[in-house]
């Protein structure tokens, strides 16, 4: 049977108010008192983290590039499709175009 998920969204202000009312399920005092070794041991013992290997030696910092303002014409059905996906549709359009550019550059070399 598929796991049921219950996703709830809150703004930063709502989360702050919940913490102030003591509604957080996190024990922040306990977390703040933990040493680095204790935190590592806690992560290792977490079944959700099992077999996860982090190779920080190959990590890179990718700073976001500023976006260029563009006024372009696209087919109405293309725009409608992306708008139907909800907030952030322009970011998704950019991601599709960026993926295309990356693939084209890869194929050229």
pLDDT at 37: 92
Q: What is the distance between the terminal CA atoms of the chain, rounded to a whole angstrom?
A: 46
Q: Which residues contact 49 (CB under 8 A, 6 or more apart)?
A: 43
pLDDT in tens, 56-101: 888 888 888 888 999 999 999 999 999 999 999 999 999 999 999 9
Closest C-alpha to 82, from 97, 74, 92, 70: 92
pLDDT at 102: 92
- pLDDT of residue 1 exceeding 60, the answer is no
pLDDT at 59: 85
User: How far apart are the C-alpha atoms of 102 and 90, rounded to whole Å?
Assistant: 18
Mean per-residue pLDDT over the chain, rounded: 87
pLDDT at 29: 85
Q: Which residues contact 84 (CB under 8 A, 6 or more apart)?
A: none
Helix (H) or strand (E) holding 4: none
pTM of the predicted protein model: 0.44
Residue predicted with more confidence, 102 or 55: 102
User: How far apart are the C-alpha atoms of 95 and 106, rounded to whole Å?
Assistant: 16
- pLDDT of residue 11 exceeding 80, the answer is yes
Q: Which residues contact 90 (CB under 8 A, 6 or more apart)?
A: 82
């Amino acid at each position: 049977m598929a796991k049921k998920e219950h996703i709830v969204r809150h703004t930063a202000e709502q989360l702050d108010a919940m913490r102030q009312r003591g509604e957080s399920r996190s024990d922040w005092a306990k977390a703040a008192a933990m040493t680095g070794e204790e935190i590592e041991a806690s992560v290792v013992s977490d079944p959700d983290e099992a077999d996860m290997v982090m190779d920080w030696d190959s990590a890179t910092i990718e700073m976001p590039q500023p976006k260029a303002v563009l006024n372009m014409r696209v087919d109405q059905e293309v725009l409608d499709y992306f708008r139907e996906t909800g907030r952030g549709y322009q970011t998704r359009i950019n991601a599709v175009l960026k993926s295309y550019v990356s693939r084209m550059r890869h194929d050229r070399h």
